[in-house]
Amino acid sequence: MESMAALAFVVFFVSGSVALNQFDFASRIRPQLVARILIGRLLWISLPVAVLLIAMLWAPNCDIIRGLVFVPLFPVVTCIFAVSIALVLVAYRRSVLWLIVIGLLIAVAGVVYDLGFHPQFYSYNHVFGGVLGPIYDEELAVRPGLFWFRGLTILWAALLMGVASMKITQRPAVSRRAAKLVIVAGVTIGVVYGFSSPLGINTSESFLRSAFSGHLKTEHFDIYYDAASLSEPELRQWEIEHEYRYDQLASQLNDSVSARIQSYLYPDADTRARLTGTRFTSIAPVWLATPQIHILASQTDGVFSHELVHVFSREFGMPVLRLSPVAGLIEGLAVSLEAPGGAVRSNDRVAASVLFDVQEPEQLAESVAGTLSPFGFWTGRAGVSYEVSGAFVHWLISEYGVARFKQVYASGDFVDVYARSTTALAAEWTDFLAALPVLHVSAAFSATRRFGTPSLFEKNCPHWTPPYVRDLTLAAAQLAEGDSTGVRSVYVALQAHPQAGTLADKGMSRLALADGRVESVVRKYEGLSSDSLSIADRLLFADALSLIGRSSAASRAFLSLRNSYPVYAPNARASLELRSRSTGDSSLVKVLVSIASDSTKARDIGALQELNSELVESGVLNVARLYWASRFERAAGNEIAAASLAVQTAVFARDLAAKELSEETRRTLVFRAARFAFMAGDVDAAFLYGSAALAAATRVGDGSAETLINDFLSKVTWTNQYYDPEYYDIGSDGSTGLNTTR
């Protein structure tokens, strides 16, 4: 797509100038001449397209079919438009300079109008065709609006040719036909522009708001959401999250946002792509007049707080654009202040990258300088750019204060604000990292994974998702919903695929377990080294061993799998340990491997054993059943039932001996009970279990967990102080009972 946009841009100026020159030398301009020149210009496009096709011999194109579709959409339509402008310029005796000015004006003004005044992240253009979405989106959205817009370009070309004909011709009949063409094309253009938002050409704020069925007002936010996809407890959590993070950032930055913030919670990535052009990239467009955030409703981790930092930064950014001239400061500030996620902290990860030779100290200083340069941040690896700039900004604010940081954020002049160059500041920072007394136990592992991820510019075909990936993703989504209809045929069709075959084979193994064909799965993996198997393969093999009664072997397989996960993934480790302790419960395993909805699985586990507080004597098996029942209830949207079961899980786990369940898993289950209780609206239980989890994390010195739990307890305390459940009610105007009156 990018190559076709670049080609269209060149085609506009080359075809337009050549056509203008040919029209100038013609003694008389007739329709036949216009057609001949236009056909000649269109044939010329085949030359660069042929070069691109030949280049595939040594640089294969991943999506040649879709690329060829963009040939008529981008360069061909642009060529017609350029020739029509050339014809008008000849009719009014204007030089090629006018063509250049008009082309540049349309190219720039179109982007400014689309992105500068609309909550959208795509821009269609008469000159270069368009930009389909943000650079970081790995699967760009081809929306219907693109086709409508290029049709609009053809209409403009027809109108311009009509205007030129009226000026050039001396025959009244031809002039009348041209006038009719101008009128019809003009009226049609007006109608299309009038419906530009419904057609997908632009996304206005009013149209975007109308696309959401739910609207929630809080003190600082207008939250727009899909009422069918969010339960009342989930909506309440989002309400609390919005206002709590606002208060938190207002305190940290000693600032406030000068206008109400529009927060858009999209039900899924496809909906966001359809409305705004961005599928996987969450964005807070600070340059728009209205502060706003665009995220998925499922992104309940640090994504919202990250984007909210960007909204706050509007208040001290450059005039008009409200940005910093230094990209590293823009993202570095957001990373440094985003909500903790429980993973390894940026400081630990960056320090470990030096300590364990992931990168040299000199490289680290260069990385800082790179992220603070105009283009270095975007061209470098995202893992390096985000982590390094985040850790550096965190140190910069801690060392020199937020007031001075705001100054450098707006100006980008470090020498003026800090009386030090970026190189000198980077050296101070690396000295600080070298002096850190303790690093997270998984810091080196995390740094290697994070910093080793290639950037978008290092990937082949960065904006292309192969069809087999789409098929496998759809199949996985269907299985997650308990629907295996059609999934088997997808897996069978892909088993022979060179890239997808392995994944399709895993899917067939999962279906085999659900169907009771367990022996075939055992034979497939028996005798293979665990080092040669993926995590998914090892999980399938362990389940199969459980189902055929080889409990000890299955337990060892699950524990081995658990130990392959880093300690900053406590939920996965706890889940796998519980699997290892319940391999003898074939009834539970059958439910876990079944193809059924979450609510059905929760009901099936409940049918295995009465789940109530009288079952203290049932031991670790009861803990496992309670855990999985609560997990499925939560996934099904039954927050209150999930919270009750999660609390029971923590209570029963607490009484187990260490040989039955590890301290780490018990601690994880206690914090899980706190989070589930908070989701269900029980603030007291959330604080009780959260405090217990914090004490346990402190005992073992898990700094990342302490940071995460402290943040959680801070939110619980804030909620208890400012939120009155008795008055919680969503009124007809969208207002709620969140009491933030100080």
Residue-wise pLDDT tens digits, 336-353 = 999 987 666 666 666 666
The mean per-residue pLDDT over the stretch 262-288 comes to 94
pTM (predicted TM-score): 0.88
Select the highest-mean-pLDDT range: 245-249, 370-374, 600-604, 662-666.
Answer: 245-249
Residue 545 binned pLDDT confidence (cut-offs 50, 70, 90)? very high
Could you give the CA distance from residue 451 to residue 381 in angstroms, rounded to a whole number?
7
| Residue range 502-534, pLDDT digits in tens | 888 888 999 999 999 999 999 999 888 888 888
Question: Are the beta carbons of 45 and 76 closer than 8 angstroms?
Answer: yes
Structure tokens at 28: 């008389």
The mean per-residue pLDDT over the stretch 489-504 comes to 84
Task: Mention every residue, 6+ apart, whose C-beta is less than 8 A from residue 587.
Answer: 608
User: Which has the minimum average pLDDT: 109-118, 230-239, 455-464?
Assistant: 455-464
Count Cα neighbours of 224 within 13 Å in the Cβ-side half-sphere: 20
Inform me whether the pLDDT recorded for 741 exceeds 50: no
What are the respective helix, strand and coil percentages of the chain, to the nearest 5? 65, 5, 30
pLDDT attached to residue 479: 80
Structure tokens at 739: 């009491």
Report which DSSP code applies to 216: E
Inform me whether the pLDDT recorded for 730 exceeds 50: no
Q: Give the count of beta carbons closer than 10 Å to the beta carbon of residue 657.
A: 8
User: Which has the minimum average pLDDT: 114-123, 178-187, 466-475, 592-601?
Assistant: 466-475
Q: Among candidates 339, 334, 341, which has minimal Cα distance to 705?
A: 341
| Residue range 155-165, pLDDT digits in tens | 999 999 999 99
Inform me whether the pLDDT recorded for 357 exceeds 60: no
Q: What are the angstrom distances between the C-alpha of 523 and each of 330, 503, 526, 544, 736?
A: 54, 18, 5, 10, 58
Inform me whether the pLDDT recorded for 677 exceeds 60: yes
Supply the mean pLDDT for the chain. 85
pLDDT attached to residue 355: 58
Q: Among candidates 707, 708, 644, 632, which has minimal Cα distance to 681?
A: 644
pLDDT attached to residue 222: 97
The mean per-residue pLDDT over the stretch 289-293 comes to 96
The mean per-residue pLDDT over the stretch 724-729 comes to 43
| Residue range 148-191, pLDDT digits in tens | 999 999 999 999 999 999 988 878 887 889 999 999 999 999 99
The mean per-residue pLDDT over the stretch 684-700 comes to 92
pLDDT attached to residue 418: 95
Report which DSSP code applies to 542: H
Inform me whether the pLDDT recorded for 43 exceeds 80: yes
pLDDT attached to residue 213: 95
Higher pLDDT among residues 380 and 72, named by residue: 72
The position carrying tokens 């879709």 is 66
The mean per-residue pLDDT over the stretch 358-369 comes to 62
pLDDT attached to residue 90: 92
Per domain, the residue ranges of the chain are 2-203, 206-322, 324-458
Question: Are the beta carbons of 293 and 304 closer than 8 angstroms?
Answer: yes
Residue 440 binned pLDDT confidence (cut-offs 50, 70, 90)? low
Could you give the CA distance from residue 717 to residue 712 in angstroms, rounded to a whole number?
9
Select the highest-mean-pLDDT range: 78-82, 489-493, 612-616, 647-651.
Answer: 78-82
State CA 126 to chain mean position distance: 29
Q: What are phi and psi of 163, to 5 degrees?
A: -60, -45
Could you give the CA distance from residue 411 to residue 195 in angstroms, rounded to a whole number?
41
User: Which has the minimum average pLDDT: 145-159, 190-204, 345-359, 529-543?
Assistant: 345-359
pLDDT attached to residue 480: 77
| Residue range 386-433, pLDDT digits in tens | 888 888 899 999 999 999 999 999 999 999 999 988 888 888 888 887
pLDDT attached to residue 378: 64
Inform me whether the pLDDT recorded for 247 exceeds 50: yes
User: Which has the minimum average pLDDT: 374-378, 409-413, 494-498, 585-589?
Assistant: 374-378
Residue 28 binned pLDDT confidence (cut-offs 50, 70, 90)? confident
Structure tokens at 138: 């790995």
Q: Among candidates 558, 524, 513, which has minimal Cα distance to 538?
A: 558
Task: Mention every residue, 6+ apart, whose C-beta is less than 8 A from residue 416.
Answer: none
Q: Among candidates 140, 91, 126, which has minimal Cα distance to 9?
A: 126
Higher pLDDT among residues 389 and 734, named by residue: 389
Could you give the CA distance from residue 364 to residue 353 in angstroms, rounded to a whole number?
9
Could you give the CA distance from residue 592 to residue 542 in angstroms, rounded to a whole number?
12
pLDDT attached to residue 257: 96
The mean per-residue pLDDT over the stretch 532-551 comes to 92
Inform me whether the pLDDT recorded for 307 exceeds 80: yes
Could you give the CA distance from residue 675 to residue 531 in angstroms, rounded to a whole number?
35
Question: Are the beta carbons of 212 and 264 closer than 8 angstroms?
Answer: yes
Q: Among candidates 23, 133, 3, 139, which has minimal Cα distance to 69?
A: 3
pLDDT attached to residue 615: 42
Residue 579 binned pLDDT confidence (cut-offs 50, 70, 90)? very high
Inform me whether the pLDDT recorded for 87 exceeds 90: yes
